[in-house]
Structure 1
Amino acid sequence: MRIALITGSAGLIGSESVAFFADKFDLVVGIDNNMRQYFFGADASTEWNQNRLQEAHTNYIHRPADIREVNQLDPIFREFGTDIKLIVHTAAQPSHDWAAREPFTDFTVNANGTLNMLEMTRQHCPEAVFIFTSTNKVYGDNPNYLPLIETETRWEIDESHPYFQDGIDEFMSIDHTKHSLFGASKVAADILVQEYGRYFGMKTGVFRGGCLTGPNHSGAQLHGFLSYLMKCAITGTQYTVFGYQGKQVRDNIHSYDLVNMFWHFYQNPRVGEVYNAGGGRHANCSMLEAIALCEQISGNKMNYTYSETNRIGDHIWYISNLNKFKNHYPDWTWNYDLNQTMVQIHDSMVARLEQTV
């Protein structure tokens, strides 16, 4: 039997992974205890997504285990053992601001939880491919010291800089920089995944995401900005833009495109590898540009305010360079551009809001 084990299985990337791998494996085992509701409140609950997955995929099994607790993970790994061929570890505390409220919780979820998953893999299914969703926040605020130029709607890097054409590559330093506590806990996890690959020879892959997005995101004010932004556009809820004149730039990758990267890696895995994973020059926008796109798609004028206080560790300009991954896996490319993704988010959000009325 071939089993895929997915943590954070009711979240954005976890649920996309379940749907993607359900017809490629005999069984998909999901681990998710809906901590997103604890982090961000009832509106961010992933219970709706868990129910959707259980209804849609007959070979999906859900386990509400806490990745911080080895005594909850060990029975799952013992039950399925070496039949586990793929592990996609997406469970995390994902917010800068929230991490500062509860540093112990943030670190134990992101760092200790990842260590637990790695060690369970090493003990029970060491030949499995282990994929970890890291973040571009491991680079801290180093991107903010690039030569940036302010334009009418965005910050942009100087055309003479090597990063202008394709974005930031994996050789940017993750040292001597301010990460936020969230960024620090993800750095710890990122390095652990690399080390288990390089020290133990395990097939581990680290994917440093830009903004991960898609129609199944339970967006909240502190995390999932495109999803939450579109929700505010639809409902008229006030949105706050934090700092940089609203011109800060992010690249955005559809959840399907990211999971498709995982699939390519699984088919030809490498040891302790690291990849930047985002929308690159293919799909990126500033906050002001995202607001304009939400208004265009929803047909509503957005209600937003501006705060001069930027979030600690936030990037002014970040675009991922995916050349390394594309060189290793030349058959992969994006399926969704930014407009297609935003239309999907809008239509999914409208449908979900109608169901709650």
Structure 2
Amino acid sequence: MSVVIITGSAGLIGSEAVRFFASLGMNVVGLDNDMRRYFFGDEASTRWNRSLLERQVRGYTHLELDIRDAAAVDEVFQRYGAEVALVIHTAAQPSHDWAARDPFVDFGVNANGTLNLLEAARHHCPDAPFIFTSTNKVYGDTPNALPLIELEQRWEIDPAHPYAAAGIPETMSIDQSKHSLFGASKVAADVLVQEYGRYFGMPTACFRGGCLTGPNHSGTQLHGFLAYLMKCTMTGTPYTIFGYKGKQVRDNIHSSDLIAAFYAFFQQPRVAAVYNIGGGQASNCSMLEAIALCESITGRRLKSSYVDDNRSGDHIWYISDLTRFRSDYPDWNITRDVPRILQEMYEVNQERWAAV
């Protein structure tokens, strides 16, 4: 039976991938040592999700492994060898602010960890598609130079600009911009994944995600925008808005829609593929719009405060252009928009977040 290796397997995207590929009858090996708890504290721990996976998912094997440990990573890939049909790499340090606290750990996890996985895959399963969850932060703050117009509830791009119809494409430069140290470490990983495709002919893909979200997200102040916002609204936890008048815009993609994109690539892999992936024009919102939706769904007022200083390198407006991926995989599409995503978060997490 074929094996799927998934890093960050107890996280939002990892766990969604575990359940999906296990449902196809594949054996899934998950690598996850709950570094999210180390990064963001007990509230962000994914141990609860790991427990669910181990109890509920047939054919799932969990390994508490640090991807910075090259020898341990290689041992896993050597153990499963030619049985490995797919590698999905979702493990990461995902926060701008946290990266500045400890650049060595950030780069070790995001860049060196990715290199360890690529090398292990090259030696033991070079024909298996290697899917990497990159980020739109590889573009640094270049999107902030776009001609933006301030509206009542959001920033919006000038309708005359070429990006207005579909969003930001993969042709945007990743050079000569301010990334944050997190963005820089993800750039390093992104380029490595591309290079292992081009140089060694491996089937690799970088999915440069917008906001990845869903009901199983362990959201915190430093990472997990929609999940943390809904959690704060439901629990009465104070929420801080950082800059841009709360009108900053993000596209949001549900974890199941992202896994559907991964599956499409798995079925028809390409070499050194790069895709912007997110909610696109079908699923996006500003901070103010998201707050209004959370309040409407829960029937509660959010306790919010505003800080005029935005997070360094943060985007004012970002919507992914999905044209390239849809061109390669025309049967794929977005199935959930922001209101539906938030409604699902509310319904799924009432019991779990009520205990907070």
- TM-score, normalized by length of structure 1? 0.99
How many pairs were matched up?
Answer: 356
> Structure 2 matches for 1:12-31, cutoff 5 A?
12-31=12-31
* 8 A Cα contact 1:3 1:25, kept in partner: no
Q: Is 1:109 paired with 2:113?
A: no
SS at match of 2:219: coil
Provide runs of 4+ in structure 1 moved above 6 Å: none
Would the alpha carbon gap of residues 339 and 246 (structure 1) be closer, same or farther in structure 2, given more than 3 Å must change?
A: same
Q: Is 1:295 paired with 2:295?
A: yes
The equivalent residue for 1:250 is 250
SS at match of 2:39: helix
Q: For residue 342 of structure 2, what is the amino acid of its counterpart?
A: M
> 5+ unaligned residues in a row in structure 1: which ranges?
none
SS at match of 2:164: helix
Q: For residue 192 of structure 1, what is the amino acid of its counterpart?
A: L
Q: Distance in 1 between matches of 2:58 and 2:352?
A: 23
* 8 A Cα contact 2:203 2:271, kept in partner: yes
Which region of structure 1 is more displaced relative to structure 2, 212-221 or 17-26?
17-26
Deviations 1:23-69 (A, max 9, x none): 22430000000000000000000000001111111200000000000
Q: Distance in 2 between matches of 1:178 and 1:239?
A: 26
Which region of structure 1 is more displaced relative to structure 2, 311-320 or 342-351?
342-351
Q: Distance in 2 between matches of 1:291 and 1:11?
A: 24
Which region of structure 1 is more displaced relative to structure 2, 329-338 or 165-174?
329-338
Q: Is 1:236 paired with 2:228?
A: no
Q: How far is 1:351 from its partner? A: 2.2
* 8 A Cα contact 1:195 1:272, kept in partner: yes
The equivalent residue for 1:95 is 95
Q: Distance in 2 between matches of 1:303 and 1:145?
A: 32
Which region of structure 1 is more displaced relative to structure 2, 319-328 or 16-25?
16-25
Q: For residue 227 of structure 1, what is the amino acid of its counterpart?
A: A
Q: For residue 182 of structure 1, what is the amino acid of its counterpart?
A: F
| % identical aligned pairs | 63
Q: How far is 1:112 from its partner? A: 0.2
SS at match of 1:241: strand
Q: How far is 1:349 from its partner? A: 2.2
Q: For residue 209 of structure 2, what is the amino acid of its counterpart?
A: G
Q: Distance in 2 between matches of 1:247 and 1:58?
A: 44
Q: How far is 1:353 from its partner? A: 2.5
Q: Distance in 2 between matches of 1:227 and 1:215?
A: 7
Q: How far is 1:77 from its partner? A: 0.9
The equivalent residue for 2:219 is 219
The equivalent residue for 1:304 is 304
- TM-score, normalized by length of structure 2? 0.99
RMSD in angstroms over aligned alpha carbons?
A: 0.8
Q: How far is 1:138 from its partner? A: 0.2
The equivalent residue for 2:200 is 200
Q: Is 1:259 paired with 2:259?
A: yes
Deviations 1:197-225 (A, max 9, x none): 00000000000000000000000110001
